[in-house]
Amino acid sequence: MSEVVLFEERATTDGHRIGIATLNAERSLNALTLSMIRLLHDTLLRWENDPAVAAVVLRGAGEKAFCAGGDVRALREALLADPENRHPNPDAVAFFSEEYRLDYRLHTFGKPVVALGGGIVMGGGLGLLVGCSHRVVTPDTRIAMPEITIGLYPDVAGSWFLQRMPARLGLFLGLTGAPLNAHDALIANLADHVVPRPAFDAVIGALCKAGWSDEASANHASVSHLLNTFECAAHDALPPSPVARNLIAIHQLMNRGSLKAVARALASTAFEDPWMAAAARNFAEGCPTSAAVTWEIWRRARNLSLAEALRMELALSVNFCAAGEFSEGVRALLVDKDRSPQWQRATLDDVDAEWIERHFRSPWTADDHPLAHLV
């Protein structure tokens, strides 16, 4: 059985090393499992504390995906296999808490981390990409946070980074799961560089030839300069940006004051742009609880730190697992594939304030929260 994450260290010309981590589950589009999360976290911790490791590269095996998200089918199976229906479910706590701990480590890593995000980048994969200091995409990269379709919400620090997009774009993406291309990713602050996929090996080679400093800021600047030398031609191949042509319309749609007003606007607007029309359909077919919670997250998370946002998300995630919409959404989309989920709360009118509040209630005190150590 092959290793689910491959780790390599390559020597640099000045005596340092570059750590390379490759998600190695090509058949599942490098979907994150708990074992992958643990391996990544522990190795990143070791590399961060090793003064000889100057920088890290994170990539996915194969040509199709960087990472298509978390292994939600396996999580659903674990939830259904719990005869005691425990809350919080231990498998859910382990998966989400350790995934968020990994995301936090990437966001706060003291050395350059270059994510080579080619192909599909979704859900938990986007959590990895966004956390890296240098986020590289390719002209064919496809990004989405499609959790509304499976009865979840944009997690992996989505409550934090969606706030940092222009013109309420983050709220729109959370409510609709609309896909983004590489051009969109630059506008949405989800990527820093666009590099042709065939140049990935050359990027790693250039990192090995670079001169490295003892100062982190100097090394970050050097990596940015290095990546800029690879991306000029790639910019010429960028696809047109649906986000760019619709950004003002998105702001107007999302700036309605209430979720029901947004829902009416999405339902009543005759969109000429097929990307916008598809986003509106996705919202209409998505989980009403997910939409309502995502709207409330947008209100509550505005001034949260990254650590506070992740603590909030962990409570949300285990509560979604307990409430049942998540298991039903995964069944309909990924297991039976009938695309006909039977939501407990079938419309927004069925989602009352108490139901929303239930999803935010933490099953832990501040001191015993699994992510209490994040600061």
How far apart, in whole angstroms, are the C-alpha atoms of residue 320 and residue 11?
45
Instruction: Please report whether residue 224 resides in a domain.
Output: yes
Q: Give the pLDDT score at 237.
A: 81
The CATH number linked to 354 is 3.90.226.10
Instruction: Please report whether residue 74 resides in a domain.
Output: yes
Averaged pLDDT, 122-127:
98
Q: Give the pLDDT score at 281.
A: 98
Look at residue 236 and tell me whether its pLDDT is greater than 80. no
Instruction: Please report whether residue 326 resides in a domain.
Output: yes
Which residues fall within 8 angstroms of residue 264, CB to CB, at 6 or more apart? Answer: none
Residue 55: which domain range? 5-360
360-370: pLDDT as tens digits: 999 999 999 99
Instruction: Please report whether residue 374 resides in a domain.
Output: no
Q: Give the pLDDT score at 232.
A: 64
Residue predicted with more confidence, 160 or 235: 160
Look at residue 54 and tell me whether its pLDDT is greater than 90. yes
Averaged pLDDT, 284-308:
98
Burial 338-364 (b: 16+ CB within 10 A, else e): eeebebbbeeeeebeeebbeebeebeb
Phi, psi for residue 36 in degrees, rounded to 5: -65, -45
Average pLDDT, the chain: 96
**pTM exceeds cut of 0.75:** yes
Among residues 182, 107, 176, 98, the alpha carbon closest in space to that of 139 is found at 182
Averaged pLDDT, 236-256:
95
84-95: pLDDT as tens digits: 999 999 999 999
Averaged pLDDT, 58-68:
97
Instruction: Please report whether residue 372 resides in a domain.
Output: no
Instruction: Please report whether residue 371 resides in a domain.
Output: no
Residue 164 in tokens? 């940092």
Whether the link from the prior residue into 341 is cis, omega within 30° of 0, is no
Look at residue 234 and tell me whether its pLDDT is greater than 70. no
- 78-82, 142-146, 231-235, 254-258: which range is least confident on average? 231-235
How far apart, in whole angstroms, are the C-alpha atoms of residue 364 and residue 317?
13
Strands of the sheet containing 134-137, edge to edge, are: 5-11, 17-23, 53-60, 113-117, 134-137, 193-194
Instruction: Please report whether residue 365 resides in a domain.
Output: no
Look at residue 1 and tell me whether its pLDDT is greater than 60. no
pLDDT over 70, % of the chain: 99
pLDDT over 90, % of the chain: 96
- 1-10, 19-28, 219-228, 322-331: which range is least confident on average? 1-10
Q: DSSP per residue over 84-95, as a string?
A: T--SS-HHHHHH
152-208: pLDDT as tens digits: 999 999 999 999 999 999 999 999 999 999 999 999 999 999 999 999 999 999 999
pLDDT bin (cut points 50, 70, 90) of residue 233 is low
**Total structural domains within the chain:** 1
How far apart, in whole angstroms, are the C-alpha atoms of residue 20 and residue 7?
6
Instruction: Please report whether residue 370 resides in a domain.
Output: no
pLDDT bin (cut points 50, 70, 90) of residue 241 is very high
Q: DSSP per residue over 169-223, as a string?
A: HHHHHHHH---B-HHHHHHTTS-SEE--GGGHHHHHHHHHHS---S-HHHHHHHH
